[in-house]
Structures are given as structure tokens and as C-alpha cells.
């Protein structure tokens, strides 16, 4: 149950043998509930030797600047493995924060590496997963560097829809996104005031509605066109 969505994500990236899938599903771990607005640094999670898979809620990797600003560098939706980098490298100033009340499945690091040794194919698969997350990060760089607030917002709504499997061509797309406008701003590098104004404009144009933490996309094609969104970077097809 805990890792179902995670396994689904991996399967989208490439073939997964029966044995490999079984090895993943049977990874021992425990559920941890996290209240909203709790920060838990990755270093803490790695010192307790845990790999975290988000089951429910919304997490973010974040980075606090000296000026007191907080930049969210990645959003994690259910099924995401949150701190894969900490498996091989200790990253000092990065931390995880819960944007909404969340539940994670914590796997001991040893169990994880054991599974990889017994099933070497998993290494390649997880590497591929890691690469797919890099592509998402790349896209965030493009948003922050080259898109205005309007496009960034549209793009993010598209990305999260696809990542959660909610995108659909013809009909209205709707999904829950338990995030505050303030946090949206921290992710997109703009102030919450400007997030608010931009959301209103998008709502008035009928491009996308975000209210009460629910995203409604009346016309998927129109939004993706506005956002310059190309889902190719998410599907991560094999060569």
C-alpha cells in the first residue's frame, strides 16, 4: 500500500521485473505523520538512516537564505521519494518542510541498500528516477529564469497535474493542491502578493482556477499553450 504510487512512478520510467517490484513493495518501514509547517532537515532524516517516500500531503525541499527568505527548490507529491540525494551525499543547508499535514513512509537506509544489492537492476531504475527529478528541476530553472509569474504559475499547475496523473485532454481537469499562496510564491520566486494578483488574473481569464486549495483547469490545451508546457520532460521515455 505504502509504496504503490512510488512503484507506479518507477514503472512509468522503464521496465520493472516482478522480483524488483516485489523487493520494493516489501521494503520494511514505518509511517510517520508530519504536521503542517514542520521542518525536518535532511541531515536529521539521514542520520536516523531513513529514506522517505511521501504517502499523503505535500512536502517541499527548501533552502533558507541569509536574508531570511525561503526558496522552495522542489515540491514532492504522494508517491515521490523525497531525499534520494541524501542517500549518497550529505547536503548541508537543504531541508524538507511539510507544506500541508502529511504522511511519509520511512525506510531504513540499510534495508534500501540491501534491496539494491540483491537486485542490482534497481540501481539503474533508481538512477533513472533520480534523473527524472533532475529534469523537473531543470524545468524549474527555466521557469525562474525565463518565464514571468503568469507562465510560471500555469506551468506549475500543469506539471503537478501530470505528475499526479490527473491530466486529461478534453474534459475539465481538477485536483487538490494543499498549498498556500505564500508557499507558491516561495517556490516560484515571487511574493505572495503578486501570486494573489496573478491568480486572480488567471481566474478572470478562465485559464485556471485555484481556490480553497483546489486547482481547476477548464481547458487543458489552452493552459499548456499559455504555459509553454511540454510534458515530454516528465514521461522520461527510454532511449
Query: Contact letters (x/-) for DNA, 164-183, by CB under 7 A?
Result: ----------------xxx-
- Out of 198, 208, 224, 226, the residue judged to bind DNA by CB under 7 A: 198
172/220 Cα distance (integer angstroms): 7
CA distance 2 to 7: 10
Instruction: Report the partner that residue 233 touches, choosing among its own copies, DNA, none (CB closer than 5 to 8 A by kind).
Output: its own copies
| 184-211: burial string, b at 16+ Cβ within 10 Å, e else | bbbbbebeeeebeebbeebeeeebbbbe
> Which cell goes with 49?
538512516
Sign of CA dihedral 107, 111, 113, 119: negative
Tell me which of 8, 33, 69, 205 binds its own copies, using CB under 8 A: 69
The partner residues of 62 in beta bridges, in order of sequence, read 72, 95
Q: Going along 132-226, which residue ranges are E strands?
A: 173-176, 209-211, 214-217
Please select the residue that binds DNA; options are 150, 164, 165, 218, rule is CB under 7 A.
150
Binding part of the chain for its own copies, among 21-29, 79-87, 95-103, 207-215 by CB under 8 A, reads: 79-87
Binder of residue 44, out of DNA, its own copies, none (CB less than 5 to 8 A by kind):
none
Nearer to DNA, 41 or 181 (CB): 181
Cα–Cα distance, 174 to 161 (Å, whole number): 8
3-state secondary structure of 202: helix
Instruction: Supply 158's cell numbers.
Output: 500543469
| 147 contacts its own copies (rule: CB under 8 A) | yes
Asked if 113 touches DNA (CB under 7 A), the answer is: no
User: CB under 7 A: which stretch of 120-128, 193-201, 217-225, 231-239 binds DNA?
Assistant: 193-201
Q: Which stretch binds its own copies (CB under 8 A): 31-39, 128-136, 163-171, 199-207?
A: 128-136
State the residues that interact with its own copies by CB under 8 A.
13, 46, 61, 63, 65-67, 69, 71, 73, 84-86, 88-94, 120, 123-124, 127-128, 130-135, 137-138, 140-142, 144-147, 187-189, 228, 230, 232-233, 236-239
Amino acid at each position: 500500500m505504502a509504496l504503490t504510487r512510488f512503484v507506479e512512478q518507477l514503472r512509468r520510467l522503464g521496465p520493472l521485473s516482478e522480483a524488483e517490484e516485489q523487493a520494493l513493495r516489501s521494503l520494511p518501514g514505518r509511517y510517520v505523520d508530519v504536521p503542517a509547517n514542520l521542518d525536518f532537515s535532511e541531515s536529521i532524516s539521514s542520520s536516523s538512516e531513513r529514506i522517505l517516500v511521501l504517502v499523503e500531503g505535500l512536502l517541499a525541499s527548501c533552502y533558507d537564505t541569509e536574508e531570511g527568505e525561503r526558496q522552495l527548490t522542489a515540491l514532492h507529491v504522494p508517491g515521490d521519494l523525497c531525499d534520494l540525494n541524501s542517500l549518497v551525499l550529505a547536503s548541508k543547508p537543504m531541508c524538507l518542510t511539510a507544506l500541508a499535514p502529511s504522511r511519509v513512509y520511512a525506510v531504513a537506509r540499510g534495508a534500501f541498500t540491501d534491496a539494491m544489492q540483491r537486485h542490482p537492476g534497481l540501481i539503474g531504475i533508481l538512477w533513472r528516477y533520480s534523473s527524472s527529478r533532475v529534469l523537473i528541476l531543470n524545468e524549474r530553472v527555466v521557469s525562474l529564469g525565463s518565464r514571468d509569474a503568469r507562465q510560471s504559475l500555469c506551468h506549475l499547475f500543469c506539471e503537478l497535474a501530470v505528475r499526479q496523473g490527473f491530466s486529461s485532454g478534453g474534459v475539465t481537469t481538477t485536483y487538490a493542491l494543499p498549498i498556500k499562496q505564500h508557499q507558491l510564491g516561495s517556490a516560484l520566486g515571487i511574493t505572495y502578493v503578486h501570486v494573489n494578483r496573478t491568480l486572480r488574473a488567471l481566474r478572470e481569464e478562465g485559464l485556471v482556477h485555484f481556490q480553497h486549495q483546489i486547482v481547476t483547469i477548464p481547458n487543458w490545451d489552452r493552459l499548456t499553450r499559455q504555459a509553454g508546457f511540454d510534458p515530454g520532460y516528465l514521461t522520461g521515455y527510454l532511449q
